[in-house]
Structure 1
Amino acid sequence: MNQHRITKAIRSQVERTNEMEHSSPLFLTSSFCFENAEDMRAAFADETDDNIYSRFSNPSVQEFVNRVCIMEGAEAGFATASGMSAVFASFMALLKQGDHLLACNAIFGSTHTVITKYLPKYGIEHTYFKADKPEEWESLIRPTTRMIYVETPTNPGLDILDLSALSALAKKHNLILNVDNCFATPVSQQPILLGADLVVHSATKWLDGQGRVLGGVVVGRKDLIKDIYLFCRSTGPAMSPFNAWVLSKSMETLEVRMERHASNALYLAEALSNHPKLNWIKYPFLSSHPQHAIAKKQMRDGGGIVCFELSGGLEAGRTFLNSLQMLSLTANLGDTRSIVSHPASTTHAKLTEEERQTVGITPGLIRISVGLENKDDILNDILQALNRL
């Protein structure tokens, strides 16, 4: 029977135990036993897919990975302890001394730190390109370039990069296209179907969706994932079985949650479009977004993030945050509850002022992770806070 990928993901489960449970059990164990010495030898020789040790593999973790692979259209994957460990593993397993990484300059602050502070210690160089300058991308490729790394939509400015164009560029120069799909999720966007080789997620965000556990996952081409698996198997950034069990359950409701997040976000963006206290507002499915046409081409919806710039700058940002009565001030996004953040003083504080300005992170920039609350309650809290400016 030909089933939709969402159906396949929901119905994908690890094998039942003798109890014939309907909901997948939690395999909370550090290691697995063997019937005899030969079975154990074969497992360690990679002649079988038997579980050995939960740093390598675990049924609860594998169920979560399988569901992400189905949704993303990936051949294989590996789950990690956090989103940043997934990003780091995708770099370190596939890049070596002397290699060059080409990356968009609009990326998460911790990813920027990894690229600029830690990769150089291993002799891996990088060049940043601008999301809105596609005509310049190819000129930055070197003979030593090995990978292109991007986020789309970007964090926090919601720039949209044309994944089909990036894929064509990567294939032309035999490069790995590595895409952080955290903001869109596989419900809104499938980079692999547009030509990406790898997709990484901070599962802590929308995939969990309730602010409960940390997790990361990288999926993609089987040959690339094998190298990432071997790197993680030795270095140890494995996802815990309990977190994987929680995340796997969350994947069953991802589509319905993201539909509500996206509809709430679009409603909020449209309602605030002409507010006098805002210099601008960005949301991928607003017609005013600079890359609106690209977003409509490669995304099912605009996702759950809205950002805008307060006309009063840094001081207005502080007043706005302090005036909110319902929205949460917390270092996360992708929760059932709406969250507001000030990137210049939090997620991207480690960047220099010049670096923040280059990617559009101004002192008055506000990022809203739109939750599942009643849309008018979210809007009214923002409006009352804006009225205090």
Structure 2
Amino acid sequence: MLVAKESRTAIGFEEGRNDGAKWFGDLTRSRFAGPVTPHHRVLSREVSPETLAVHAGTYEDPVTGAVGTPVFQTSTFLLDDASYAAFSDGTSRDVPIYTRYGNPSQWSVQEKIAALEGSRSALVTSSGMSATASTIYALTNAGSHIVSAYDVYGGTYNLLREDMPSAGREVTFVDPCDPDAVRAAIRPETQLLFFETLTNPLLKAPSVRGLAEIAKEANALLVVDNTFLTPVNMRPLELGADVVVHSATKYLAGHSDLTAGAVVGRRKFLDRIWAQALRFGGTLEPLSAFLLERGMKTLPLRVRAQNANAAEVARFLAGHERIAAVHHPELGGPRYAGLERADYGGFGGMVSFEVRGGDEAALEFMKKLRIPYVATSLGGVESLVSMPSNTSHSSLTARQRSRIGINPGLVRFSVGIENVRDLVRDLDEALGAPAEEDKR
């Protein structure tokens, strides 16, 4: 015999969800952390990243006792008194009603991401660009002004340059590592500063603390894209950022088998971004949420291995005669003279470098590699190699790429968790092999 309402109450979807929701006209209102149910595992943010990655957010199923989070592969949920109260009280983010609004599979991975970033709330979306677009639209309005970097990820640059003006937002692009330029770009109507913790593809490392100070002076919000570093290497909210976004497709998921985005911050910001994401429809479906949560259990182990591998690869490339330049914080140099190393746990698995001979020589070099895949994206367990000029930044003109510093022959190498000696040997052989025309 099915007893739907009693069963639903028993697994925690109703109990305790509305006891703090009486906020209309109440200036002392508070918001839940989460959203989570009583059966999602919530750990102190002071617990180590390794433990949080494994346990935070796990849905401990009271019916089956499953150790792993189940996949709630459903588009909708039974309506009951808790559902109707959520609609009337404005708490529909906290009760399972419809998967576009929220789903326990999403909540599991959201809690894990929030815990790792040291925050109270997170949101997952269908892609990194969905997370970025939802955040920017939610935290600005028509007539406002945004400051960003001219060398942000190509998709973000296109959103800011092409879509924001038609939506009534003006954008100024600056060098993120020049605080004077950032400060000079601020206007009375500036609402948002959007930067990356490490820039894509040149790995510039702006001071998040400094950017947070400028944003505070301007009474604006600081949003940072932490895709390249992950919370293992930096927790920007602790440095003054207001909101953090990720392309969770990359390091968070870590296995090149899904696309997802994430947004992290205080609940008052996340509720607005969640509402915007609802309107855009960028829902992360339950199976991808399950895969993302599973992949994140090894995040600290993967990222630390990639930190070490990338640093060794960068040092090897810096000493090779066929490489004109290497971009990686571990190498130091004038670009990283002001680097606040105490804010970093590492620098991630990305290395960018310029092959002598330009784009043609770089393409020939990539064809000779045997271990890395020549493919877009980054952050997976396998090494990937690509050229920004014909992938992530192909929409930019040659002049724009030159201004950013994307020079001919620039290669972006996402270092995986393979044995680093194998990677270095492969790079050495590919760089040292003569071009086909030299063999004839």
Q: TM-score range by the shorter chain?
A: over 0.9
Q: Is the 8 A contact 2:234 2:343 kept in 1?
A: yes
Range with bigger deviation, 219-228 or 197-206: 219-228
Question: Could you say which residue in structure 2 is the equivalent of 1:353?
Answer: 398
Question: Could you say which residue in structure 2 is the equivalent of 1:101?
Answer: 146
Q: Residue 259 and residue 161 in structure 1: after superposition, are their counterparts in 2 closer, same or farther (change >3 A)?
A: same
Question: Mapping of 1:1-389 within 5 angstroms?
Answer: 3-12=47-56, 13-34=58-79, 36=80, 38-45=81-88, 46-47=90-91, 49-288=94-333, 290-291=335-336, 293-294=338-339, 296-388=341-433
Q: CA deviation at 1:165?
A: 0.4
Report the identity percentage.
34
Q: CA deviation at 1:357?
A: 1.1
TM-score normalized by structure 2? 0.85
In structure 2, list runs of 5 or more residues that go unmatched. Answer: 1-43, 435-440
Matched residue count: 387
- Aligned equivalents of 1:11, 1:159: Cα separation in 2: 33
Residues 2-30 of structure 1 deviation map (CA, whole Å, 9 limit, x = unaligned)? 63244234222224130111111111111
Q: Is the 8 A contact 1:9 1:66 kept in 2?
A: no
SS at structure 2 position matched to 1:385 = helix
Q: Is the 8 A contact 2:60 2:67 kept in 1?
A: no
Q: CA deviation at 1:271?
A: 1.7
Letter in 2 for 1:39: A
SS at structure 1 position matched to 2:162 = helix
Q: CA deviation at 1:367?
A: 0.7
Q: Residue 339 and residue 5 in structure 1: after superposition, are their counterparts in 2 closer, same or farther (change >3 A)?
A: closer
More relative contact order, 1 or 2 (CA 8 Å, 6+ apart): 1
Q: Is the 8 A contact 2:193 2:220 kept in 1?
A: yes
- Aligned equivalents of 2:418, 2:358: Cα separation in 1: 28
- Aligned equivalents of 1:69, 1:107: Cα separation in 2: 24
Residues 260-316 of structure 1 deviation map (CA, whole Å, 9 limit, x = unaligned)? 111111111112211111111121122336215515232111110011111211111
SS at structure 2 position matched to 1:234 = helix
Larger Rg: 2
Q: CA deviation at 1:130?
A: 0.7
Q: Is the 8 A contact 1:106 1:151 kept in 2?
A: no
Q: Is the 8 A contact 2:49 2:300 kept in 1?
A: no
Pairwise CA RMSD of aligned residues? Answer: 1.5
Range with bigger deviation, 269-278 or 192-201: 269-278
TM-score normalized by structure 1? 0.96
Residues 139-173 of structure 1 deviation map (CA, whole Å, 9 limit, x = unaligned)? 11011110000012100000000000001111111
SS at structure 1 position matched to 2:324 = strand
Letter in 2 for 1:194: L
Letter in 1 for 2:193: I
Range with bigger deviation, 355-364 or 157-166: 355-364
